[in-house]
């Protein structure tokens, strides 16, 4: 029976080197942060995929890792396996409440609002923004973008588990969702104004004079320079009076990237472009 490599032995060192090489290539190509490499599950998942690729190619995992720059299929497989898509409707209610009570009243009533969910995962954030804007009686459009094709396809489907209804205020469920066949469906009139596109923010950000950008829980997966550049490029796409919202834990990084913090209320800080 094959014995697993002894930790610290030559085989384990070779595997560890293979994982390091793969992580370096992921950072170079996709801006993926090395901090992502800290949890053991990341290294295990990378090694599992490299082992599969190695078996397919008839080489060692280290050789497979060395060939990664030319093996887009394997790279995409690893990126997909490392994606953290956790999201939910009405996540961080204090932000939504601040938008309703403080942000929207300051935007001219006849101004059509353009919203962006940058790193939208399966769409809950973009649809929540749509529900909030529709409830406020605003004309609007919301765009959600994500690097993951599977996530964008799910967002376009707009079908969620029935339990997702518990995350939303009941009035929003009643107005914008239908519960049928044991699932929550976002209604068509909202789907008509919330659209989704596949987009890797490290390579391009949507252009558009946005009044509200959500760039939440994405930065932590990006390496410092790649993440800072994305944040600055997104902020540059804000229209007059526009604000970028992040998770509270990401605020120090956005300040470090040069974005200007804006106190929305006692609990919520948003951001504007550097120097504005």
Ligand X SMILES: C[S@@+](CC[C@H](N)C(=O)[O-])C[C@H]1O[C@@H](n2cnc3c(N)ncnc32)[C@H](O)[C@@H]1O
- The C-alpha atoms of residue 247 and residue 216 are separated, in whole angstroms, by 5
DSSP string, 227-238: HHHHHHHHHTTE
Q: How far is CA 46 from the centre of its chain?
A: 20
Count of residues of this chain found to bind ligand X when the rule CB under 6 A is applied: 21
Residue number, 61 or 119, with CB nearest to ligand X: 119
- Cα distances (angstroms) measured from residue 71 to each of 38, 150, 184, 201, 223: 24, 20, 39, 21, 22
Check residue 151 for interaction with ligand X (CB under 6 A).
yes
Interface residue with ligand X among 202, 223, 238, 257 (CB under 6 A) is 202
In the complex with ligand X, the residue whose CB is nearer, 80 or 169, is 80
From 17-25, 170-178, 199-207, 267-275, span contacting ligand X (CB under 6 A): 199-207
CA distance 195 to 158: 11
Site membership for ligand X, residue 125 (CB under 6 A): yes
Tell whether residue 119 is a contact of ligand X (CB under 6 A).
yes
Min. distance of Cβ 210 from ligand X in angstroms?
Answer: 15
Segment 216 to 275, residues that bind ligand X, using CB under 6 A = 216-218, 221
Distance CA 23, CA 185 (A): 38
52 CB-side CA count, 13 A:
11
Binding residues for ligand X (CB under 6 A): 31, 83-87, 91, 119, 121, 125, 146-148, 151, 200-202, 216-218, 221
């Amino acid at each position: 029976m094959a014995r697993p490599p002894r930790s610290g032995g030559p085989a384990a060192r070779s595997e560890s080197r293979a994982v390091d090489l793969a992580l370096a290539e992921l950072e170079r190509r996709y801006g993926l942060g090395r901090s992502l490499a800290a949890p053991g599950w990341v290294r295990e998942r990378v090694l599992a995929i490299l082992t599969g690729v190695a078996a397919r190619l008839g080489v060692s995992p280290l050789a497979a890792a060395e060939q990664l720059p030319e093996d887009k299929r394997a790279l995409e497989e690893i990126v997909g396996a490392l994606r953290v898509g956790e999201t939910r409707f009405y996540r961080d209610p204090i932000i939504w409440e601040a938008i309703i009570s403080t942000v929207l009243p300051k935007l001219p009533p006849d101004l059509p609002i353009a919203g962006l969910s940058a790193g939208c995962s399966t769409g809950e954030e973009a649809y929540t923004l749509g529900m909030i804007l529709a409830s406020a009686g605003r004309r609007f459009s919301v765009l959600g973008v994500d690097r993951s094709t599977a996530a964008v396809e799910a967002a376009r489907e707009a079908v969620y588990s029935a339990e997702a209804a518990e995350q939303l205020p009941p009035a929003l469920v009643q107005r914008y969702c239908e519960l049928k066949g044991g699932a929550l469906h976002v209604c068509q009139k909202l789907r008509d104004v919330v659209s989704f596109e596949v987009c890797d923010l490290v390579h391009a950000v949507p252009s558009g004079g946005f009044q509200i950008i959500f760039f939440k829980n994405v930065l932590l997966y990006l390496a410092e320079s790649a993440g800072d550049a994305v944040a600055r490029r997104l902020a540059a796409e804000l229209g007059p009076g526009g604000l970028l919202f992040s998770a509270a834990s990401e605020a120090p990084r956005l300040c470090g990237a040069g974005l200007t913090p804006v106190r929305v209320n006692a609990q919520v800080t948003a951001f504007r472009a550097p120097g504005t």
